[in-house]
Copies of this chain bind each other. A is one copy, B any other.
Amino acid sequence: MADESEASGGGAQNPAASWPERPSTDYGFLERALGDASADAFVHVGDRFDDDMRYLTRFSGPDRDFAFVFVGDTAGGDATSTLCAPALFEAQAKREFPGDEVRMENVDDPAGERARALLDEALGGDGTVLVPQGVPHDAALYLERAGYELRSTSAVDDARAVKTESELDCLRRVQRATARGMARAETILAESTADGDELLWEGGPLSTERLRRQVNVTLAAYGVRDAGNTVIGAGPSCADLHFTGTDGIAPGETVLLDISPRGPHGYYGDLTRTFVVDGDGGWERRAYVAVEAAQNAAFDELDAGAGVAASTVHEEAAAEIAAYGFSVGEEPGFTHGTGHGVGVSLHEAPSLRADAPLEAGMVVTVEPGVYDSSQGGVRIEDLVVVTEDGYEVLAAYPTGIVPQER
Q: Which of B65, B89, B152, B220 contacts A217 (CB 8 A)?
A: B220
Do residues B92 and A243 form an inter-chain contact, with CB atoms below 8 A?
yes
Do residues B15 and A209 form an inter-chain contact, with CB atoms below 8 A?
yes
A136-B133, A137-B140 given; A207·B16 CB < 8 A = yes
Q: Interface with B: A25-33, A98-106, A222-230, A396-404, which one? A: A222-230
Do residues A63 and B345 form an inter-chain contact, with CB atoms below 8 A?
yes
Do residues A64 and B347 form an inter-chain contact, with CB atoms below 8 A?
yes
Please measure, in the bound complex, the distance between the C-alpha atom of A205 and the C-alpha atom of B6, giving whole angstroms.
Answer: 13
A121 interface residue per 8 A CB criterion: no
A219 interface residue per 8 A CB criterion: yes
In the complex, which residues 338-384 of chain A have their Cβ closer than 8 Å to any Cβ of chain B?
345-347
Do residues B228 and A228 form an inter-chain contact, with CB atoms below 8 A?
no
Q: Determine the residue in chain B with the shortest Cβ distance to A188.
A: B9
In the complex, which residues 137-168 of chain A have their Cβ closer than 8 Å to any Cβ of chain B?
137-140, 150, 152
> In the complex, what residues of B have CB within 8 A of residue A122's CB?
none
A77 interface residue per 8 A CB criterion: no
Q: Determine the residue in chain B with the shortest Cβ distance to A87.
A: B336
Do residues B136 and A204 form an inter-chain contact, with CB atoms below 8 A?
no
Please measure, in the bound complex, the distance between the C-alpha atom of A71 and the C-alpha atom of B238, giving whole angstroms.
Answer: 35
Please measure, in the bound complex, the distance between the C-alpha atom of A155 and the C-alpha atom of B338, giving whole angstroms.
Answer: 41
Q: Which of A19, A134, A239, A246 has the most CB of B within 10 A?
A: A134
A63-B347, A225-B226 given; A213·B6 CB < 8 A = yes
Q: Determine the residue in chain B with the shortest Cβ distance to A200.
A: B12
In the complex, which residues 232-266 of chain A have their Cβ closer than 8 Å to any Cβ of chain B?
239-246, 262
Q: Determine the residue in chain B with the shortest Cβ distance to A134.
A: B136
Do residues B203 and A15 form an inter-chain contact, with CB atoms below 8 A?
no
A1-31 to B contact mask, C-beta < 8 Å, 1/0? 0000111011111111001000000000000
Q: Determine the residue in chain B with the shortest Cβ distance to A49.
A: B49
Do residues A63 and B346 form an inter-chain contact, with CB atoms below 8 A?
yes
Would you give the shortest CB distance from A15 to chain B, in whole angstroms? 6
A11-B204, A138-B152 given; A62·B347 CB < 8 A = yes
> In the complex, what residues of B have CB within 8 A of residue A16's CB?
207, 209-210, 246
Please measure, in the bound complex, the distance between the C-alpha atom of A139 and the C-alpha atom of B133, giving whole angstroms.
Answer: 9
Please measure, in the bound complex, the distance between the C-alpha atom of A5 and the C-alpha atom of B131, giving whole angstroms.
Answer: 46
A136-B133, A137-B140 given; A220·B223 CB < 8 A = no
Do residues A136 and B138 form an inter-chain contact, with CB atoms below 8 A?
no
> In the complex, what residues of B have CB within 8 A of residue A201's CB?
9
A36 interface residue per 8 A CB criterion: no
Please measure, in the bound complex, the distance between the C-alpha atom of A309 and the C-alpha atom of B95, giving whole angstroms.
Answer: 37
Please measure, in the bound complex, the distance between the C-alpha atom of A65 and the C-alpha atom of B50, giving whole angstroms.
Answer: 12
Q: Determine the residue in chain B with the shortest Cβ distance to A345.
A: B63
Q: Determine the residue in chain B with the shortest Cβ distance to A64.
A: B347
Do residues A225 and B223 form an inter-chain contact, with CB atoms below 8 A?
no
Q: A14-B204, A136-B137 are in contact. List 6 more A-B contacts (CB 8 A).
A: A6-B210, A11-B202, A60-B244, A88-B336, A134-B136, A137-B140
Between-chain CB contacts (< 8 Å), 17 pairs: A5-B213, A6-B214, A11-B204, A15-B210, A16-B210, A16-B246, A60-B228, A60-B244, A64-B347, A134-B137, A134-B138, A135-B136, A138-B152, A213-B221, A213-B222, A225-B225, A225-B226
